[in-house]
């Protein structure tokens, strides 16, 4: 690995602690008063540097609008922006190439929204899928690489409260590999 694993682990732990703090505060938490009182931290997979990978961007010039179904039987519109190509280990330890689509909301152009499902979905992770956000400066270009850190994959707020409506990952973002990294989910 060409990065400082110890520094990465420390940053990841600090990120997780900060998120747990936000879940305990009324205005930044999806939890109700009782849920906040009982909250003792989110559940995470152990940090796994092998799920921190480099993804190559291939711009999608189609300007296709994708309708994502939501957890509340609604729909949200996103623009299909880029393909993210990366290699990641499978359950047998072999590395294979995979692709996820990065989307943008019409009103935001400084980040890619990457909703996905994998073989942990509905078993160890939220049944509706998980999300990642990739932030960038300037214009997104073909061939650039991003660090895609699945250790930062998170559950949408609707995993914690029915008061939220969250987009569901489209089938093109269903991975045929387990990614035991990021937030876990335990149903009540």
Render pLDDT for 66-122 as a digit per residue (tens, 0 to 9).
999 999 989 989 999 999 999 998 777 667 899 999 999 876 667 899 999 999 999
* Residue 179 clears pLDDT 90, i.e. is over it: yes
Cα–Cα dist 112/158, whole Å: 20
pLDDT band at 27 (very low <50, low <70, confident <90, very high): confident
Flag whether 76 is in a domain.
yes
Flag whether 2 is in a domain.
no
| pLDDT at 96 (0 to 100) | 83
| pLDDT at 156 (0 to 100) | 95
Higher pLDDT, 31 or 92: 31
Domain count, the chain: 1
| pLDDT at 21 (0 to 100) | 94
Which residues are CB-neighbours of 138 under 8 A, at least 6 positions away? none
Flag whether 27 is in a domain.
no
| pLDDT at 70 (0 to 100) | 93
Among 75, 66, 89, 36, residue whose Cα is nearest residue 166: 75
pLDDT mean across residues, the chain = 90
Return the CA Rg of the chain.
17
| pLDDT at 146 (0 to 100) | 87
CB of 144 within 8 A of CB of 115? no
Q: What percent of the chain has pLDDT over 70?
A: 95
Tens-place pLDDT, residues 128-149: 999 999 988 778 889 999 899 9
**148 vs 48, 107, 180, CA distance in Å?**
13, 23, 14
Flag whether 182 is in a domain.
no
Flag whether 9 is in a domain.
no
pLDDT band at 188 (very low <50, low <70, confident <90, very high): low
Domain span at 65: 44-173
The encoded tokens of residue 153 equal 């994959």
| pLDDT at 93 (0 to 100) | 66
Q: What is the mean pLDDT of residues 33-48?
A: 92
Report the first-to-last Cα separation within the chain, whole angstroms. Answer: 38
Flag whether 7 is in a domain.
no
Flag whether 22 is in a domain.
no
pLDDT band at 187 (very low <50, low <70, confident <90, very high): low
Flag whether 66 is in a domain.
yes
């Amino acid at each position: 690995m060409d990065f400082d694993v110890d520094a990465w682990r420390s940053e990841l732990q600090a990120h997780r602690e900060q998120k747990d703090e936000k879940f305990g505060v009324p205005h930044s938490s999806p939890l109700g008063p009782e849920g906040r009182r009982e909250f003792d931290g989110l559940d995470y997979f152990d940090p796994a540097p092998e799920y921190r990978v480099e993804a190559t961007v291939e711009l999608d010039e189609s300007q296709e609008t994708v309708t994502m179904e939501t957890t509340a039987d609604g729909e949200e519109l996103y623009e299909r922006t880029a393909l993210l190509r990366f290699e990641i280990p499978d359950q047998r330890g072999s590395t294979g190439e995979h692709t996820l689509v990065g989307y943008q909301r019409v009103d935001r152009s400084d980040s890619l929204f990457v909703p996905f499902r994998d073989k942990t979905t509905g078993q160890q992770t939220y049944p509706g899928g998980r999300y990642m956000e990739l932030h960038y400066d300037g214009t997104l270009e073909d061939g650039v690489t991003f660090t895609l850190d699945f250790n930062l994959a998170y559950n949408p707020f609707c995993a914690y409260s029915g008061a939220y409506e969250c987009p569901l990952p489209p089938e093109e973002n269903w991975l045929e590999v387990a990614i035991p990294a990021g937030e876990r989910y335990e149903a009540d």
